[in-house]
């Protein structure tokens, strides 16, 4: 893992974004993967301009390059989904974000700094598939600690409060 546990620290939960948010991203990619070649094919058949500007092998080469770009974007989305995780331990919250392929940001927050935990579920699909954002307000001037598109956010909020109550006792 990209973080070290403290002595006697126990992991209570490891989460990623809800699968539906990644599914929607891949749906857009699939739409682009199908739509652009169809438009090129239609232009080649119905227009006299495209065949004059490009030979058939040039169109095939451009489409191959386009599909390589689609694969790179797909890999980026998949890596972002897989490598962005949120960890709830009995002592702190840990957010690990991939920002580019070679830049990883690890943010931690001690449970005793938590002032408030809010759950926000917006939209039809978020309600249907029970995912939402968890916003954690801390003591002091620190920015909000946000877990975006968390599966079952209310259960995660309850788990954070349980860990916080155990920590206080």
Position 168 scores a pLDDT of 65
> Would you state the structure tokens that stand for residue 66, as one six-digit string?
């386009």
pLDDT band at 99 (very low <50, low <70, confident <90, very high): confident
**Residues in Cβ contact with 43 at an 8 Å cutoff, skipping those fewer than 6 apart:** 49, 50
pLDDT in tens, 1-23: 567 888 888 999 999 999 999 99
- All structural domains of the chain, each given as residue ranges with its CATH number in brackets, are 13-168 (2.30.29.30)
pLDDT band at 49, cuts 50/70/90? Answer: low
Rounded to two decimals, the pTM is 0.79
The mean per-residue pLDDT over the stretch 24-51 comes to 84
Q: Give the separation between CA 59 and CA 103, rounded to whole angstroms.
A: 36
| Average predicted confidence (pLDDT) for the chain | 88
Q: What are phi and psi of 95, to 5 degrees?
A: -120, 125
């Amino acid at each position: 893992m990209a973080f070290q546990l403290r002595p006697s620290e126990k992991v209570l939960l490891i989460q990623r974004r809800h699968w539906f948010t990644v599914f929607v991203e891949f749906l857009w990619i699939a739409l682009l993967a199908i739509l652009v070649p169809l438009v090129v094919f239609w232009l080649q058949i119905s227009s006299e301009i495209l065949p004059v500007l490009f030979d058939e092998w040039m169109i095939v080469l451009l489409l191959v390059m386009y599909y390589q770009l689609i694969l790179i974007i797909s890999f980026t989305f998949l890596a972002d989904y897989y490598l962005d995780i949120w960890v709830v331990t009995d002592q702190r919250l840990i957010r690990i974000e991939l920002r580019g392929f070679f830049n990883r940001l690890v943010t931690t927050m001690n449970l005793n700094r938590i002032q408030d935990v809010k759950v926000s579920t917006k939209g039809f699909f978020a309600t249907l598939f029970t995912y939402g954002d968890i916003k954690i307000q801390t003591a002091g001037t620190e920015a909000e600690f946000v877990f975006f598109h968390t599966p079952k956010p209310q259960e995660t909020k309850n788990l954070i409060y349980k860990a916080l109550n155990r920590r206080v006792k």
